[in-house]
Structure 1
């Protein structure tokens, strides 16, 4: 099962040092039965894109949390695509996040299929989204529009052997 795990560049660097994404439990996003039922007209590729988009939203929140904790994190959303056994992912019952799954174990880097990350050109919009996130959570429509502006940027795809280059950029 392909699972999309929200991340940040500092968290990716830590995962590389440890050889795994963790610690467990991990929240990820995948093509779940609830997502398939909700998006009945979508094919597998469209459903995976929905899961990737949900993970990118979660990455933005992880980035905000890192910064609140004083971590120097570049304003780039990161999503790690990994292959895990279906039995390792437990789907939630949250109708708002139909793609959300919980992983009870850390994910070895050997299971990572690819890394998706914002292009450097998205940095200004991601910075703006980070600044607007608290107001968006309070229901401010203009702030929500700003947060959605980050989503207008497609995440770039990188092979696992390119991870060291991503960490140097």
Structure 2
């Protein structure tokens, strides 16, 4: 199952240092478009559900750079348990094991120019301050450079 995990830049640095995503069980989001639904649109919505959840992680870590981070991973179905249906074609899931770095597919991160709006959104849950900022795609080999910015 393809899942989207909310994260932060310091958490991403820890993933790179440890070689895995730790902290099981982990909350993630997955696409579940249902019959006749648009799978691509559901994946986009699942990614942004994880981006919204990353705002809570940023609120809990005032020292973290104000950039939403979403990690995407391809996991075996037995490691993922469905928890609840979210809006649209999105389902919240629980990942029951650690995720090795090799299972990550990519990361999606705000541009540094979005920091002020992301900071406002982290301070004010439900705010639309982060709206209009698209997450940028990063390949795994680019992630070490991202955490050094």
TM-score by length of structure 2 reads: 0.92
Structure 1 equivalent of residue 96 of structure 2? 104
Q: Give the distance between the partners of 2:18 and 2:123, measured in 1 at CA.
A: 31
Q: Give the distance between the partners of 1:13 and 1:152, measured in 2 at CA.
A: 26
More helix by share: 1
Does residue 1:120 correspond to 2:112, yes or no? yes
Structure 2 equivalent of residue 6 of structure 1? 6
Structure 2 equivalent of residue 165 of structure 1? 145
TM-score by length of structure 1 reads: 0.81
RMSD of aligned residue pairs (Cα, Å): 1.7
Q: Give the distance between the partners of 1:106 and 1:89, measured in 2 at CA.
A: 11
CA positional deviation for 1:42: 3.4
User: Larger Cα Rg: Structure 1 or Structure 2?
Assistant: 1
CA positional deviation for 1:65: 1.0
CA positional deviation for 1:8: 0.2
Q: Is the 8 A contact 2:15 2:101 kept in 1?
A: yes
Q: Give the distance between the partners of 1:93 and 1:8, measured in 2 at CA.
A: 23
Structure 1 unaligned spans of 5+? 134-143
Q: Is the 8 A contact 1:4 1:82 kept in 2?
A: yes
More strand by share: 2
Q: Give the distance between the partners of 1:131 and 1:43, measured in 2 at CA.
A: 33
